Structure 1
Amino acid sequence: MDTRDYLIKAGEKVDLKKIPTCYEGDLDKKDVKNHLAPKNLEKLQDYQERLYAENKQGLIIVLQAMDSGGKDSLIKHVMTGLNPQGTKVASFKRPSDRELDHDFLWRVNRELPSRGDIGIFNRSHYEEVIVTRIHDLVKIQPLPEDLIDKDLWQNRFDDIVNYENYLRNNGFRMVKFFLHISKEEQKSRLMDRIVRPEKHYKFDKSDITERTYWDKYQRAYEDLFEHTSTKEAPWYVVPADRKWFSRYLVSQVILETLQDMDPHFPQLSKEAEESLDHWKKVLEES
Structure 2
Amino acid sequence: MAHPFRLPPGKEVKLRKISAEAGENLDKDKLKQEAEELKEKLEKLQEKLYAGREKAILFLFQGMDTSGKDGVIRKAFAGVNPQGFRVHSFKAPTAEEAAHDFLWRAHQLIPARGYMAAFNRSYYEDVLITRVHGQVSDAEAKRRLKHIRHFEELLADSGVVLVKIFLHISKEFQLEKLKDRIVNPDKNWKFDPNDLVERKSWEAYQRCYEEVFENSGTPDAPWHLVPADNRKYRDWAVLRIAVETLEGMKLNFPAPHPELQKFLPEIEQEQKTPQKISTTSETL
TM exceeding 0.5: yes
2:175 to 175, 179, 187: 187
Q: Could you tell me how far apart the structure 1 residues matched to 2:117 and 2:51 are?
A: 16
Provide closer, same or farther for how the CA distance between residues 25 and 150 of structure 1 changes in structure 2, counting only shifts above 3 A.
Answer: closer
Equivalent residue, structure 1, for 2:125: 127
Does the residue aligned with 1:11 lie in a helix, a strand or coil? coil
Post-superposition shift, 1:5?
2.0
Quick check: 2:23–2:230 contact (8 Å CA) kept in 1?
Answer: no
Q: Could you tell me how far apart the structure 2 residues matched to 1:283 and 1:123 are?
A: 53
Render the CA deviation track for 1:202-224: whole Å, top value 9, x for unaligned: 01000011111000000000000
Render the CA deviation track for 1:150-171: whole Å, top value 9, x for unaligned: 5322211111111111111111
Equivalent residue, structure 2, for 1:253: 241
Render the CA deviation track for 1:24-73: whole Å, top value 9, x for unaligned: 5753222212x100000000000001100011110000000100001111
CA RMSD across the alignment? 1.6
- Percent of aligned positions that are identical: 40
Equivalent residue, structure 1, for 2:281: none
* Pairing of 1:36-75 with structure 2 (within 5 A): 36-75=34-73
Q: Could you tell me how far apart the structure 2 residues matched to 1:283 and 1:3 are?
A: 57
1:222 to 210, 231, 239: 210
Q: Could you tell me how far apart the structure 1 residues matched to 2:73 and 2:23 are?
A: 23
Deviates more, 1:22-31 or 1:234-243: 22-31
Does the residue aligned with 1:63 lie in a helix, a strand or coil? strand
Larger Rg: 2
Post-superposition shift, 1:186?
0.1
Provide closer, same or farther for how the CA distance between residues 253 and 150 of structure 1 changes in structure 2, counting only shifts above 3 A.
Answer: closer
Provide closer, same or farther for how the CA distance between residues 26 and 192 of structure 1 changes in structure 2, counting only shifts above 3 A.
Answer: closer
Equivalent residue, structure 2, for 1:167: 155
Equivalent residue, structure 1, for 2:184: 196
Quick check: 2:11–2:214 contact (8 Å CA) kept in 1?
Answer: yes
Q: TM-score normalised to the size of structure 2?
A: 0.92
Equivalent residue, structure 2, for 1:141: none
Provide closer, same or farther for how the CA distance between residues 24 and 217 of structure 1 changes in structure 2, counting only shifts above 3 A.
Answer: same
Q: Could you tell me how far apart the structure 2 residues matched to 1:281 and 1:121 are?
A: 47
Q: Could you tell me how far apart the structure 2 residues matched to 1:164 and 1:240 are?
A: 26
Does the residue aligned with 2:200 lie in a helix, a strand or coil? helix
Equivalent residue, structure 2, for 1:281: 268
Does the residue aligned with 2:201 lie in a helix, a strand or coil? helix
Unpaired runs of at least 5, structure 2: 274-284
Equivalent residue, structure 2, for 1:145: none
Post-superposition shift, 1:7?
1.0
Does the residue aligned with 1:114 lie in a helix, a strand or coil? coil
Q: State the aligned residue count.
A: 273
Provide closer, same or farther for how the CA distance between residues 187 and 152 of structure 1 changes in structure 2, counting only shifts above 3 A.
Answer: same
Q: Could you tell me how far apart the structure 2 residues matched to 1:217 and 1:230 are?
A: 21
Q: Which amino acid aligns with 1:123?
A: R
Provide closer, same or farther for how the CA distance between residues 96 and 20 of structure 1 changes in structure 2, counting only shifts above 3 A.
Answer: same
Post-superposition shift, 1:277?
3.5
Unpaired runs of at least 5, structure 1: 139-148
Render the CA deviation track for 1:60-91: whole Å, top value 9, x for unaligned: 00000100001111111101011111100000
Runs of 4+ in 1 over 2 A off after TM superposition: 24-27, 268-272, 274-286
1:240 to 206, 219, 228: 228
- The answer to whether residue 75 in structure 2 is matched with residue 82 in structure 1 is no
Equivalent residue, structure 1, for 2:279: none
Quick check: 1:3–1:253 contact (8 Å CA) kept in 2?
Answer: no
Post-superposition shift, 1:263?
1.5
Q: Which amino acid aligns with 2:265?
A: H
Q: TM-score normalised to the size of structure 1?
A: 0.91
Equivalent residue, structure 1, for 2:196: 208
Quick check: 1:10–1:231 contact (8 Å CA) kept in 2?
Answer: yes
